[in-house]
Amino acid sequence: MAIAVQRAETFYQPPPRHPTAWDQVAPAERVFRWAEHRQQRRLVPPAGFIIGQLAYARINHGRWVADCPCGSAQVVTPADPRMACTECGLGWIRLVFPEDPAEAEASVAHELPHERNWWHPDDPSWTRPAESSDPALDGMAAETAAAAGLLATARRPSLAPVVEEASQ
């Protein structure tokens, strides 16, 4: 059974003593309640949207996340495509999700949780690997990766005698 990609409504959960306390809270606003409880600081969701500002949602290590321009990030959901930063206080910004979020989730379902990563094709922050038009170069890249793997597992001489000598 595959582990589902986490969304805000399953990630930001109320304290165990209050299991239904957040049922009436919109999924994008649960981060504010969660931060209040976990960080013990009062946070009020912003009142309005930042016009012209948007962020691309992506799957990162099995969670839907989006980045704030300040560098902070939070778990988000396609069910409520907006976010507001609990760190810098930026107002609500619109999130861009794929047309079919379930398809994006299914595309990474076979991966290990830490390798479940998906980026929106229009996201300018995604640095795509260069595509080669020469199949021979693609083969060379695979050979280079295999060689790097061998080097990573090769036994290396210990530097302990050198360090010991230098420290005397």
Give the per-residue SS3 of 89-134.
CCCEEEEECCCCHHHHHHHHCCCCHHHCCECCCCCCCCCCCCCCCC
pLDDT digits (tens, 9 = 90+) for 75-101: 999 999 999 999 998 999 999 999 999
The neighbour count for residue 64, using CB atoms within 10 Å, is 25
Mean per-residue pLDDT for 135-144? 56
- Cα 148 to its chain centre, rounded Å, is 27
The pLDDT value recorded for residue 127 is 72
Residue-averaged pLDDT of the chain: 81
What CA–CA distance (Å, rounded) separates 120 from 138?
A: 24
Helix (H/G/I), strand (E/B), else coil: 75: strand
pLDDT band at 23 (very low <50, low <70, confident <90, very high): confident
Predicted confidence (pLDDT) at residue 162 exceeds the cutoff of 80: no
pLDDT digits (tens, 9 = 90+) for 92-138: 999 999 999 999 999 999 888 888 888 888 888 877 665 555 555 55
29, 23 contact by CB (below 8 A): no
What are 77's two structure tokens? 């959901």
Report helix, strand and coil shares of the chain as percent, to nearest 5. Answer: 35, 15, 50
108, 118 contact by CB (below 8 A): yes
Strands 49-56 and 92-96 come out as: parallel
pLDDT digits (tens, 9 = 90+) for 35-78: 988 888 888 889 889 988 999 999 999 999 999 999 999 999 99
From the list 24, 139, 12, the residue with the least C-alpha distance to 76 is 12
Predicted confidence (pLDDT) at residue 141 exceeds the cutoff of 60: no
pLDDT band at 168 (very low <50, low <70, confident <90, very high): low
